[in-house]
Amino acid sequence: MAVEHEVSVLNAVRKIKTMRRLAIPNEEQFVFCHGCVSEYLSSFDVYAKFSEKTGNI
């Protein structure tokens, strides 16, 4: 995720559930996790757009 700014939330949840069966027990929790990851990844876009506008790299 740090390099490509992509992540498969579904695969990550599956890996977590193999270790902790009761983690992320329902769809609501899965959607929450997806939203958190999405917000985290979108935070990088703000800085990229700022650099493009100012001409800084």
Is the residue at 42 inside a domain? yes
Instruction: Give residue 19's domain range.
Output: 9-54
Number of domains in the chain: 1
Q: Are 41 and 5 in contact (CB under 8 A)?
A: yes
Is the residue at 37 inside a domain? yes
Q: Are 34 and 14 in contact (CB under 8 A)?
A: no
Residue 27: the pLDDT is: 95
Is the residue at 19 inside a domain? yes
Is the residue at 2 inside a domain? no
Note the pTM of the prediction, 2 decimals: 0.64
Residue 50: the pLDDT is: 52
pLDDT (tens digit per residue) in 4-55: 767 899 999 999 999 999 999 999 999 999 999 888 878 776 555 555 555 5
